Structure 1
Amino acid sequence: MKAWRVLVLQITTSKVTDAFTLFMKSAFVISTVASLSLLLYFTFSYSHLLLLSCPHCSRDPVPVLSLRKFTLPASNDPEPPTNISHILFGIGGSARTWHKRRHYCELWWRPNITRGFVWLDERPQKNVTWPAGSPPYRVSSDTSRFKYSCWYGSRSAIRIARIIKESFELGLANVRWFVMGDDDTVFFTENLVRVLSKYDHDQMYYIGANSESVEQDVVHSYTMAYGGGGFAISYPLAVELVKILDRCIDRYAKMYGSDQKVQGCLSEIGVPITRELGFHQVDIRGNPYGLLAVHPLAPLVSLHHLDYVDPLFPTLTRTDSLKRLRTAYELDSDRTLQHSFCHELTRNWSISISWGYTIQLYPSLPTAKELETAPQTFWTWRTWSTEPFTFNTRPVSANPCKQPVIYFLDGAYDSGSTGETVTTYRRHVDGGKGCDRHEYVAARGVERFNVRASKFNPDLWKKAPRRQCCEVVNGGDDTDINVVEVMIRSCNPWDSVTPR
């Protein structure tokens, strides 16, 4: 009897346990379904409220979860440094003008390496084959529902402002930076990567530069990264920007350009511009020589508006000029346009080098302050005036005896075993009357410069900036020479460019 009671007790206990387990499982399932239902309800209610408050905004719901797709590294692996695959380019273009301007983009675009799209206003004609060397294209969404009230502008500003949003919503994997530019923007991508690598892409950054012409900055903004020169937005900032962009565009309907509208929206988020001097809007007219001959101490990142200025090299077309510049850039991207100057005291010469582009030979000893100041070979963008600019300039004298002898890049190659680069520069003959003074005759006797330099150490960009030094290595006497050999090197602690 006792054994039977124990058996009954065990059976009863087992049934109670099973019933309790079933009850708990049912409760868990019901609570999970209820939680998901509430989440979906509030998500769509939130999106619905947003659309009610802005009935003409995009009907796509605001993403509650990030669209970012991750490739998770192994648990102990450090995050890899930023490289070109982490950048998604958004290029503003037009189907009707792409064939006229695509050569600028194709200079720097690398199929299957660079990532991004040209965003067009409409599909190309069916009988037009899209160029293999161009970025792939996307067609922008219709923007007719948005307000635009700038009487002297174009509604295309709305479409181009939304490229950042449409790029984000593609949900592409491993994007750290969204980089915007125009169809005539020339990017120097290795240097762009170098600049962006300085910043933590998990923070909210807005990186670019102002216009060179003060009149442009006054009319538009000093706090804006100009779109033609290109600007970069980090992924976390893009997450916040796309939430407000469509409604924000209407709030800034009076603003002229897409870059203005984007900056206005970023001001609502509270993120200011981080200026990088290598982005160049090129809001100038005339000859860009002076701007590039004394480039700031920063990697060359972009050039823009090249159809509106003279070719970089006076004997070449605009496109061939860029190809010539890129021969040096591909040899040493970090050093391109970096400015060095030195005195050759035996001959009373000063030599100013913009590496990979030009050399100015002065048969005199101007001060370092003069040599670092841009010779004004250009005018302002809007009014073609001689001033003001956002950097100092100095006038170029019409007197040939007060002008330097100019040399342009002629070739660039790797010296081989020494690990140095050699760039050669040939004297430019402009056909004008030269100076007959003895010191100028001797200077004009120099036909060519050969410049040797070690490969630029990219870690120098992470240190306090200092212009590199140079010295003439075949000087030392007063004999006439027609080839000057120059070495560019890091400065020693006691080095300075000081005339005696």
Structure 2
Amino acid sequence: MPPSSPSIQRKPQLSSLPILCKGIVICGLVLFLFYTVLCHHPNNDNDLFVPFIAQEWPASSPTNVTSSPTDLSHIMFVLVGCIRTWKYRRPYIEAWWRENKTRGNIWLDVAPTQELLPWPSSSPPFRVNEDIKKLKIYPKLVNPVEVRIYRSVLETFRLEDNKDVRWFVMADDDTLFFLDNLVEVLGKYDHTKYYYIGTNSECIKSNYDFSFDMGYGGAGYALSYALVEALVSTIDECIERYPHLYVSDYLSSSCSADLGVDLIIEKGIHQIDLHGDISGLLSSHPKSSLITLHHFDAIDPIFPSMNRTEAVNHLMKPAKLDQSRLLQQTICYLRQSNWTFSISWGYSAHIYESIFPRSILRRPLETFRPWKEDRPPLFMFNTRRPSNDPCKAPHVFSLEGVLDRDEGSSSHEHVITTYSRSLQRNLPACSSNGNHSADPIVKIQVFSPSTGRKEAGRIECCDVDYVAGKDIANIKLRACMKSEVLA
């Protein structure tokens, strides 16, 4: 007879079933109550989760974005120079520095000599860099001067005068800033997060030699307060990692990259790694607002018949009235003569005896040479080769003067910039377009609205008022009509 053990073994399983069901019911009730409390909190559905999320996944950067707009007082300039070149470069800085408004210092290698004292209030206050020979890594540094330059950021951060600073802007002493445009551009970014804003070189060879991801220090670059705050505790450690780096801007790029921060390029910042006549570049500036120009000692004066200092001060005249339009290119046409006018506001005006679309004239005339001679391609942008073809060669006019009112009137409806012929073109008229020579024109007047800053990146159109044979052409800038084609 088979044993009864199988039936006996099943009894505990049957008797435990009610207990198991009770356990499931109790667990379900607990989970339901837990869900109800979490999902129906009277104040915030997610409040109970926040502490746990914050502990496990902390924010990578501050998020307390200030509501007030960025202004000039929020920018700290870290300018670097040396006693040997200061007296020659001082006029460049004084052309844009606003006494009692701009903040920052010019960092020097040694204290000023007696011939440079008393220090003028029109220049940034000077400070002398720390002696970097105290660094353990000093004997291994390939270029100690560049380390001194980069550590100026650290030394500036340690100063007591850093209240309300949002941006640290680094540049050389031969860099020209356009402050209104700088403020507007930096205002687009959140200074409480990590930002590294600058530009690379115009020349492919320079970027190849150093880095395509480096913000060139001569052109100037901006570091957000949050990024500098993170950098200062690691700068000397970073220098020890890269004693072989030859330039300060490559060092800066490397140290920022090690924190996971890449360069953001702003096209209005200009290294000017060029030689000779850069008028072709300045006459076809990109739509971006002009922020800086560098290397004035390495190029020809940007206006004819002037020295470098005079030329810089001349450019600052229209800049004081309207930086938003400075160097912005506007194209318009006189179709009965088959002429194209290209205006680089506050700098130059060109007349072509043919109709050219903007897609062509936005490419700079290659009037300049690269920083280092090399095989093509040379530049980071497309260019047009100069030509002696009378249908392609422009009549060139340079800024003569600027008025902030209509001449002979007390109204302030327009800013008037006047451009006079730089030199005779010495070419015949373009025969294929009807022999309409622009030789009689000696002056061009451009009327622009005086209603405040032009919106960054917005293209303007214009109308030409000219009577054949007269020596002056008038051009009025205006908003483009819907679907207006610039050709």
Superposition TM-score tier, normalisation by shorter sequence: 0.7 to 0.9
- Which stretches in structure 2 are left out of the alignment for 5+ residues? 1-65
SS at match of 2:455: helix
Matched, 1:304 2:294: yes
2:322 aligns to what? 332
In structure 2, which of residues 469, 477, 480 is the aligned counterpart of residue 488 of structure 1? Answer: 477
Cα RMSD for the two superposed structures: 2.2
> How many Å apart are 1:388 and its aligned residue?
1.7
Take 2:417 and 2:394, find their aligned partners in 1: how far apart are those partners? 20
> How many Å apart are 1:400 and its aligned residue?
5.4
Instruction: After superposition, give the CA deviation of every residue in 1:106-142 in whole Å (9 maximum; x if it has no partner).
Output: 1111221111111111111245412332111111011
Matched, 1:161 2:150: yes
Cα distance, 1:246–1:288 mapped onto 2, change above 3 Å? same
Take 1:294 and 1:388, find their aligned partners in 2: how far apart are those partners? 18
Instruction: After superposition, give the CA deviation of every residue in 1:116-174 in whole Å (9 maximum; x if it has no partner).
Output: 111111111245412332111111011123347676xx421000011111111113211
1:132 aligns to what? 121
Take 1:299 and 1:437, find their aligned partners in 2: how far apart are those partners? 34
Cα distance, 1:497–1:401 mapped onto 2, change above 3 Å? closer
Instruction: After superposition, give the CA deviation of every residue in 1:464-498 in whole Å (9 maximum; x if it has no partner).
Output: x44211121346xxx32211111111211131122
Take 1:127 and 1:428, find their aligned partners in 2: how far apart are those partners? 39
In structure 2, which of residues 231, 242, 250 is the aligned counterpart of residue 241 of structure 1? Answer: 231
> How many Å apart are 1:418 and its aligned residue?
4.8
> How many Å apart are 1:250 and its aligned residue?
1.9
Structure 1 contact 285–379 (Cα < 8 Å) conserved: yes
> How many Å apart are 1:401 and its aligned residue?
5.7
The residue type equivalent to 1:324 in the other structure is H
SS at match of 1:250: helix
Matched, 1:262 2:220: no
Cα distance, 1:459–1:424 mapped onto 2, change above 3 Å? closer
1:425 aligns to what? 419
1:105 aligns to what? 93
In structure 1, which of residues 102, 105, 119 is the aligned counterpart of residue 107 of structure 2? Answer: 119
The residue type equivalent to 1:163 in the other structure is S
Cα distance, 1:436–1:215 mapped onto 2, change above 3 Å? same
In structure 1, which of residues 174, 177, 183 is the aligned counterpart of residue 167 of structure 2? Answer: 177
Q: Percent of counterpart pairs with the same letter?
A: 39
In structure 2, which of residues 130, 133, 152 is the aligned counterpart of residue 141 of structure 1? Answer: 130
Take 2:473 and 2:364, find their aligned partners in 1: how far apart are those partners? 24
In structure 2, which of residues 459, 472, 475 is the aligned counterpart of residue 467 of structure 1? Answer: 459
Structure 1 contact 401–440 (Cα < 8 Å) conserved: no
Cα distance, 1:440–1:412 mapped onto 2, change above 3 Å? farther
Matched, 1:435 2:428: yes
Structure 2 contact 200–214 (Cα < 8 Å) conserved: yes
Structure 1 residues 217-296: aligned runs within 5 Å: 217-296=207-286
1:413 aligns to what? 403
Q: How many residues align?
A: 414
SS at match of 1:239: helix
Structure 2 contact 278–299 (Cα < 8 Å) conserved: yes
Cα distance, 1:127–1:328 mapped onto 2, change above 3 Å? closer
Matched, 1:207 2:202: no
The residue type equivalent to 1:222 in the other structure is F
> How many Å apart are 1:197 and its aligned residue?
1.1
2:357 aligns to what? 367
Take 2:269 and 2:95, find their aligned partners in 1: how far apart are those partners? 17
Cα distance, 1:127–1:345 mapped onto 2, change above 3 Å? closer
- Which stretches in structure 1 are left out of the alignment for 5+ residues? 1-77
Cα distance, 1:440–1:148 mapped onto 2, change above 3 Å? farther
Cα distance, 1:136–1:309 mapped onto 2, change above 3 Å? same
SS at match of 2:463: strand
Cα distance, 1:440–1:396 mapped onto 2, change above 3 Å? farther
The residue type equivalent to 1:443 in the other structure is A
The residue type equivalent to 1:452 in the other structure is F
Take 1:258 and 1:342, find their aligned partners in 2: how far apart are those partners? 44
The residue type equivalent to 1:141 in the other structure is E
> How many Å apart are 1:95 and its aligned residue?
1.9
Structure 2 contact 329–342 (Cα < 8 Å) conserved: yes
> How many Å apart are 1:454 and its aligned residue?
1.0
Specify the structure having the higher radius of gyration (Cα): 2
Instruction: After superposition, give the CA deviation of every residue in 1:42-100 in whole Å (9 maximum; x if it has no partner).
Output: xxxxxxxxxxxxxxxxxxxxxxxxxxxxxxxxxxxx74321111111111111222112
TM-score, reference length from structure 2: 0.81
Structure 1 contact 376–395 (Cα < 8 Å) conserved: yes
TM-score, reference length from structure 1: 0.79
Matched, 1:454 2:449: yes
Take 2:423 and 2:299, find their aligned partners in 1: how far apart are those partners? 20
> How many Å apart are 1:212 and its aligned residue?
0.4
2:72 aligns to what? 84
Cα distance, 1:453–1:199 mapped onto 2, change above 3 Å? same
Instruction: After superposition, give the CA deviation of every residue in 1:285-306 in whole Å (9 maximum; x if it has no partner).
Output: 1111111001011111111001
Structure 2 contact 404–450 (Cα < 8 Å) conserved: no
2:44 aligns to what? none
In structure 2, which of residues 145, 167, 176 is the aligned counterpart of residue 186 of structure 1? Answer: 176
Structure 2 contact 354–391 (Cα < 8 Å) conserved: no
Structure 1 contact 401–437 (Cα < 8 Å) conserved: yes
